[in-house]
Amino acid sequence: MDMRFDGVNYFAADARLHYGSVSIKDGYIDRVDMADAALHDGAKLLLPGCIDTHTHAMLQSEYFAEDEAASAAARRALAQSGTTAFLFATMAMDEESLALRCRAAARAAKQRPAGESRCLGVYLEGPFLSYEKRGAHNPKFLHLPDGEMLRRLDDAAEGCIRAVCMAPELDGAIDLAKKLKGKKLVSFAHSAAEYDVAMQAFEAGFSNLTHTFNCMQPMLHRAPGPIAAAADTNDVTAELIDDALHVQPPMIRALFKLMGPERIILISDSIAACGMAEGVYPSPDGMKIRLANGRATVDGTDTLAGSVMPLFQGVRRIHESGIPLEQAIAAATLNPARRYGLENKLGAIAEGLRADVLLCGSDLTLEKVYMGE
């Protein structure tokens, strides 16, 4: 795939948009020529492909499940939506079902089939979650943190479980986090823990908030909760579902100010109903999901079950919520690349990086997706 883009505003590794030309050769960005350090109004945007580090499914299929044809279609749809690399987020399931998905993700992580989004590994969201803050996870599959179970799942994944979600107040969570520190990203997730326990967790090795605000204690003036604890650290990142439904625009703006834009990681948290018409759909974990008016909820409740908005579409929604364009782009590209140690491969328009790029109109309308080998 050799091509050249002239007269574009490209997103560089300094998290800024510059004006110039970009050449691609053999699936990599070969040359970047800056003509102007500032962006030019009206020029097309050349952006790195989005990196969605927390996405479950699309088109009524998980990305890795028993029906491989349906899963492959979901991975192709993910790529065409602007997400060129992703971590496959699991749901709380029995160990056998999780192991099957881990094995399939490991195969895809070795070699990306043409036209599919690039699998970077597994984001183990279930099953080490709190019952009280379980959200849309099926309660019958919740499990106390279990190092041996995690080892078996990581063996099935051939070591490509990149993130492990846990509620730190559960028995065994803090000890397991200490063992995982420096080996896996440990994420604070689906937890009823307050500030003190959250601080203990971050000291033990937790370093990320799973879908911040959602399925965790709120931030109150006499009960500051885990978000304030994360803000009191230097290296904890905060995921943010970017549909502006899970988190309202005033709180989106507040989180960017509180944590700093470089610590925000936009995610879709998209589920199988993403890309589907309104209706009621079965979830892979046995739950039923109702999609109506752009909201996916556990059928019969008002509990949000995840997003039905692909990540790139959400970048535009975040920008419309008042976040500067460069910060919104970085939070879906450069920030997740840095969080997972991939900044030398993905996340920016820079020489030597993979040519996973999006050509967009100046209004963030996606026109074409290009993917390097």
Average pLDDT of the residues in 58-83 = 95
Rounded to a whole number, what is the largest CA-CA distance in the chain? Answer: 58
Average pLDDT of the residues in 234-258 = 97
Q: Bridge-partner residues for 366, per DSSP?
A: 360
Residues 50 and 311: beta-carbon distance below 8 Å: yes
Number of H helices, E strands in the chain: 10, 19
Average pLDDT of the residues in 62-70 = 94
Backbone φ and ψ for 98, nearest 5 degrees, come out as -65, -40
| The pLDDT value given to residue 282 | 85
Strands (E), 181-306: 185-188, 206-209, 237-241, 264-267, 279-282, 288-292, 295-298
Tokens 């097309």 sit on residue: 44
CA 78, CA 95: separation in Å to the nearest integer?
A: 26
CA 155, CA 132: separation in Å to the nearest integer?
A: 30
Q: What is the pLDDT of residues 121-174, one digit of tens each?
A: 999 998 999 999 998 899 999 999 999 999 999 999 999 999 999 999 999 999
Tokens 């050509």 sit on residue: 359
Q: What is the pLDDT of residues 16-33, one digit of tens each?
A: 999 999 999 999 999 999
Q: Which helix (H) or strand (E) holds 120?
A: strand 118-124
DSSP state of 8: E
- Spatial CA neighbour of 355 closest among 90, 49, 118: 49
pLDDT confidence tier of residue 372, bands split at 50, 70 and 90: confident
| The pLDDT value given to residue 1 | 66
Q: What is the pLDDT of residues 172-216, one digit of tens each?
A: 999 999 999 999 999 999 999 999 999 999 999 999 999 999 999
Give the chain's domains with CATH numbers: 1-48+347-373 (2.30.40.10), 50-345 (3.20.20.140)
- Per this entry, what is the length of the chain? 373
Please determine, for residue 373, whether its predicted confidence score (pLDDT) is greater than 80.
no
Concatenating the DSSP letter of every residue in 183-232 gives TSEEEE-S----HHHHHHHHHHTEEEETTTTTTS----SS--HHHHHHHT
Residues 6+ apart with CB under 8 A from 217: 191, 192, 193, 194, 223, 225, 226
Q: ω before 127 within 30° of 0 (cis)?
A: yes
Please determine, for residue 303, whether its predicted confidence score (pLDDT) is greater than 90.
no
- Spatial CA neighbour of 356 closest among 339, 325, 341, 334: 334
